[in-house]
Structure 1
């Protein structure tokens, strides 16, 4: 009977991730969507001028964010990583916090790199820079979400869920 209750609880938990896991799932899914959109002409303007990498790529996602094949592939890998790590609370927190730090470093890099130089290999433009700042701060803030379920702020006690290993 206890095993059945544990199985039901674990199944329910898998269906209803906590806030930090849900945030990581959403962020990962958005990165995958952006990766796909980066390869769609029309959504990406100047699609025919997209380069593998580098500042020479004239392609712009939504006509605003400079992208390249490498840039789109990195978004896709980041999305897959986010979805995989969202399966557990520590993984989700690590993805959001680590990803946030990476984006803040990328923002700083974009501020100081000459956008017309070979060092701008991602490629980045001013719109990308400010998006990276927002992503970095937003992901770090999401990593601080409580892991309790709705109606139960903060960390739920281990007494209530002694075998809950997904959190």
Structure 2
């Protein structure tokens, strides 16, 4: 896989993740033991696994659209991968700290979201900072 394909695949995955928080049957109301949020619209579990709310879903949709747009060029894809890696790396840390695992009452980033963010951040770090794409030139 190259970095452009990574951006396309991650864009599609983020769009699916964002949509899953709005689709009845894939979204389930928050259990009673979940912490209170200031923004509780669509607060619950996507696919009965991942705590989400409307802001969380919107962020996933935005990262999805950005991934599709970044697919157009190698440099945009590389920047996308780097921002995903840094953003989701930060969310991993914040999700592990009880005082910040709801992003100050705005977005749930606890529970299964933490390991999902690891799965999103690690490949993004590879494609953003390590992987070198072969550049094909038409010059002779």
Give yes or no for TM over 0.5.
yes
Specify the alignment match of 2:9 in structure 1: 26
Deviations 1:70-102 (A, max 9, x none): 110110011111111121001001101111111
Q: Distance in 2 between matches of 1:114 and 1:131?
A: 20
Q: What's the TM-score, normalizing by structure 2?
A: 0.81
Corresponding residue SS for 1:66: strand
Corresponding residue SS for 2:24: coil
Contact 1:103-1:136 at 8 Å conserved across structures: yes
Contact 2:22-2:42 at 8 Å conserved across structures: no
| Bigger Rg, structure 1 or 2 | 1
The structure showing larger relative contact order (alpha-carbon pairs under 8 Å, at least 6 residues apart) is 2
Q: How far is the alpha carbon of 1:46 from its aligned partner?
A: 1.9
Q: Distance in 1 between matches of 2:9 and 2:103?
A: 33
Deviations 1:97-126 (A, max 9, x none): 111111000111111143787714211222
Of 113, 129, 146, the residue aligned with 2:132 is 146
4+ runs deviating over 3 angstroms: 115-118
**Root mean square deviation of aligned Cα:** 2.8
Contact 1:113-1:120 at 8 Å conserved across structures: no
Of 47, 53, 74, the residue aligned with 1:62 is 47
Within 5 Å, which residues of 2 pair with 1:79-90? 79-90=64-75
Contact 1:114-1:120 at 8 Å conserved across structures: no
Corresponding residue SS for 2:122: helix
Q: How far is the alpha carbon of 1:60 from its aligned partner?
A: 0.1
Listed as ranges, the gaps of 5+ residues in structure 2 are none
Contact 2:101-2:109 at 8 Å conserved across structures: no
Listed as ranges, the gaps of 5+ residues in structure 1 are 1-17, 149-154, 163-167
